[in-house]
Amino acid sequence: MTLLSLHNIRKSFGAVDVLHGVDLSVAAGEVVGLVGDNGAGKSTLMKTITGIYQADTGSIEFDGKDILALDPGQRRRLGIEMIYQDLSLAKQQDVASNIFLGREPTKRLLGLFPGFVDKAEMDRQASRMIERLGAHLPSINRSVGSFSGGQQQTVAIARALTFNPKLVIMDEPTAALAVREVQSVLDLIRRLKSEGIAVILISHRLNDVLSVTDRIVVLRHGRADADLVTARTNMNEVVSRIVGGGDTAAAAAHEQRG
């Protein structure tokens, strides 16, 4: 079942054409890698999906609805969630505060005064979400800034899950992580997939993309240049599609080592 389908998306900023008619589809529960060189239009494409940018022409359907005219808030309510590379975490606050920031559950103090944050309930729900992701954090009451990069990523994903998304877009989630941490983030992506949540993974780390995705879409000069099934492709082919011919053997060998 197709969850997201983009057809002939064009976007230009003034005289600069960034997207020249992109077609892309993502099925429910599918993990799609989006790769491409710097300037290929990955970020612009993602922002036209979340609604931060309006596409000039083309159509975007999500869950059977035309969402082209909707703003980011409306698209989020439909189930499109994006996790940015900087994670947008409040580093000095604890796990629950970050997960529920802006949507804190409240209770009445002494059964009288409304509007008090129900911290116990927040902590309980936060623990449950971290457990649901199969992750471990040193303590739920520590400030998020004291966690490792992968643990912070866990918090950001847990927060995204509170909106019950159908699609999560992740921008370079493994870029700044230690080797061991990369594996745990990839496990989190697999966990999302097993819960039926679709993931679009933007990454320069082709090893990660090859290990976790179902399909890989290569963006080149503002077009979806290749749509590869991960199980039937390899590093060489992906790299050659990204750089577009030429001496790809050396580049692929370099990636393989990395």
Chain residues binding other proteins by CB under 8 A are 84, 86, 88-94, 97-98, 101-104, 106, 109, 115-117, 119, 135-138, 141-142, 145-146, 148, 150-151, 154, 181, 184
* CB of 63 vs other proteins, minimal distance in Å: 22
Rounded Cα distance between 238 and 207, Å, is 11
Nearer to other proteins, 128 or 142 (CB): 142
* CB of 122 vs other proteins, minimal distance in Å: 10
Nearer to other proteins, 144 or 224 (CB): 144
Name the residue among 235, 239, 243, 187 with its Cα closest to residue 31.
187
Beta strands in the chain (DSSP E): 2-13, 16-27, 31-35, 57-62, 65-66, 80-83, 106-109, 113-117, 167-171, 198-202, 215-220, 223-229
**Token representation of residue 131:** 């457990």
* CB of 145 vs other proteins, minimal distance in Å: 8
* CB of 211 vs other proteins, minimal distance in Å: 17
Nearer to other proteins, 9 or 95 (CB): 95
Rounded Cα distance between 208 and 174, Å, is 8
Nearer to other proteins, 5 or 50 (CB): 50
Q: Helix 248-257 crosses helix 235-243 at what angle (to 10 degrees)?
A: 130
* CB of 72 vs other proteins, minimal distance in Å: 10
